[in-house]
Amino acid sequence: MNNRVVHVPLGDRAYDIHVGQGVLNTIMDALPPSIAESKRFFVLTDENAEAYALQVAGACGGITMTLPPGEATKSIAWFERVQDWLLDNGVNRGSVLIAVGGGVVGDLGGFCAATIMRGISFVQVPTTLLAQVDSSVGGKTGINMGAGKNLVGAFHQPVAVFCDTNVLDTLPARELRAGYAEIVKYGLLGDAEFFAWLEHNGVRVLTRDPEAITHAVETSCKHKAEIVAEDEHERAGGRRALLNFGHTFAHAIESACGYDGRVLHGEAVAVGMMLATELSARLSLCSHDTVTRTRAHLQIVELPVTLRDMDLPLSLDEKGLLDRMRGDKKANDQGIQFILTRGIGQAFVQGGVDDHDVLSVLNQSL
């Protein structure tokens, strides 16, 4: 199978996303020449992706730092430790940081690259499906705070992204399904034809069929690249906000669990997309057929569709979740900004939703 290249057209910050089997072996040849010629590479990874990181470090002659896995690593404490590691090992403005791992490594590594020496070059090597189709593309970097997820960070575009579908062969089935939720998101928010393809081929993706999984990753990256090129910094009212479909609910769920790993990000997103669709139907914005199709597909691929399907704190109620949603970074002076839908592939931004309607949908899901 031929590898695919998705271009992200951002002027002097443009870069390519390399997708396919074995692209991990082509990193040094595929990097822009000015980056490949760097004399100092730093490879950041976690325990789950360490074998791949050592392969990358061997190819570029870099040194490696291995982090503990899990969302708790995306913190100020680990941000400081990584920066100290870079400084202790002679980082300079010409250095390159390569993040090899899932979204946690990519987000933390990207934020470190954005801020050390006021910014150094950064390469994403995502090793989870979720990171390949979402967090590695678009330049969002950051860490979590006690008040919520990704509240401190920066926009810092990578110079290249390498999505090797071979590394997904070792990904646990639950992690693969969680990543698949972000693929479904692209169909639901803006591509009804792709969602229909997923209805017929989603099981092939989850059984790691090479052709199906490459097509799903490539299509997802194309959608994100197009949106990022149009609205790089998620300006108010911009199209990039659509990528948060389901995430206002999802971030509140993750925050309520204390990022302890009991709920994976993609699982929270699946429930969040279901809640956003149900809220849309309650507001008479979309048909119940939209709700039915969305729920049916998520259930077929064994993703959660209600809050009851997840291991949430027993004390959690709808008011507690709503309070956490108000603290989301997408909220503004006018309140929570929801991504709602008029149908499959027809997401849009909506403010001014009555709390009563939100609480009703949350209560039903609980």
**Annotated binding-site ranges:** 103-107, 127-128, 140, 149, 182, 247, 265
From 243, 43, 26, select the one nearest 139 (Cα to Cα).
Answer: 243
Cα 243 to chain centroid, rounded: 9
* Active-site position among 247, 293, 297, 324: 247
Annotated binding site for Zn(2+): 182, 247, 265
Instruction: Give yes or no: 330 in active site.
Output: no
Cα(247)–Cα(265) distance, integer angstroms: 9
Amino acid at 140: K
Instruction: Give yes or no: 224 in active site.
Output: yes
DSSP state letter for 68 = P
From 342, 264, 332, 329, select the one nearest 69 (Cα to Cα).
Answer: 264
Give first-to-last CA distance, the chain, whole Å. Answer: 45
Percent of the chain that is helix, strand, coil (3-state, to 5): 55, 15, 30
Amino acid at 222: K
* Active-site position among 50, 156, 244, 267: 244
Instruction: Give yes or no: 234 in active site.
Output: yes
35 C-beta neighbours (distance < 10 Å), count = 19
For 173, the token pair is: 């089935």
E-state strands within 9-40: 15-20
* Active-site position among 4, 140, 293, 324: 140
134 C-beta neighbours (distance < 10 Å), count = 27
Instruction: Give yes or no: 356 in active site.
Output: no
Instruction: Give yes or no: 262 in active site.
Output: no
* Active-site position among 240, 293, 297, 324: 240
Phi, psi of 5 (to 5 degrees): -125, 125
Instruction: Give yes or no: 182 in active site.
Output: yes
* Active-site position among 223, 265, 293, 297: 265
* Active-site position among 182, 218, 232, 278: 182
Cα(40)–Cα(38) distance, integer angstroms: 6
Phi, psi of 152 (to 5 degrees): -125, 125
Kind and range of the H or E run holding 122 = strand 121-126
Work out whether strand 96-101 and strand 121-126 pair parallel, antiparallel, or are unpaired. parallel
Cα(185)–Cα(149) distance, integer angstroms: 19
Instruction: Give yes or no: 230 in active site.
Output: no
For 104, the token pair is: 């946690």
Annotated binding site for NAD(+): 103-107, 127-128, 140, 149
Longest dimension (CA), the chain: 59
Phi, psi of 175 (to 5 degrees): -65, -40
* Positions marked active-site: 118, 140, 182, 224, 234, 240, 244, 247, 251, 265
